[in-house]
Structure 1
Amino acid sequence: MICRIWHGITPRSRADAYASFLEQHAVADYRSVPGNRSVAVLRRDEAEVTHFLTVTHWDAEESIRAFAGDDLLKARYYPEDGDYLLEFEPRVRHFVVTAFASRG
């Protein structure tokens, strides 16, 4: 299993709207791809900005490729992201999962 982590930063004033966008659109998009095991959206508010992480778990690189394309570490953005994000980080991070537990 592979864990894929993306990071983005919004102005604090746009954070609630972006959180809603991620919940309504991005989570469903991730979940629609065969091989996606889970999606979590994490948020940390700071003084003027808010950080978001999407943490997803995938069966294999082939599943990620179906979502992100052939460049597995290239960040994938939605057209609406331009309304919220302060910058567009070009890369994501992948980790091989060595232990995973879930109650659900």
Structure 2
Amino acid sequence: MICRIWHGRTPRERADEYAAFLKERAIPDYRSVPGNIDVAILRRDEGDVAHFLTVTHWISEQAIRAFAGDDLLKAKYYPEDAGFLLEFEPQVQHFDVVAEQASC
């Protein structure tokens, strides 16, 4: 299993609106791709900025390609992101999941 992590920053005053956008637009997009296991969106406010992490789990690199294209580490953005984000980080991070324990 592969964990894919994206980071973005918004002005804090737009963070609630961006969180709602991610819930309505990004989560369904991720979940529509065969091989996506799950999606979590994390937020941390720091002064006038809100940090967002999108953490997804995938069964394979092939599944990630179906979502993000052939450049596996290239960040995928939506047109609406331009109205929220302070910058566009070019890459995401991938980690191999070596241990996990799910709770019921």
Q: Do they fold alike, i.e. is TM over 0.5?
A: yes
| Count, aligned residues | 104
Runs of at least 4 residues of structure 1 off by over 6 A? none
- What displacement does 1:103 show? 2.6
Identify unmatched segments of 5+ residues in structure 1: none
Match of 1:71 in 2: 71
Identify unmatched segments of 5+ residues in structure 2: none
Alignment of 1:1-104 (within 5 A): 1-104=1-104
In structure 1, C-alpha distance between the alignment counterparts of 2:74 and 2:100, rounded to whole Å: 25
In structure 1, C-alpha distance between the alignment counterparts of 2:103 and 2:34, rounded to whole Å: 21
Q: Which amino acid aligns with 1:31?
A: R
User: Identity, % of aligned pairs?
Assistant: 69
- What displacement does 1:52 show? 0.0
- What displacement does 1:72 show? 0.1
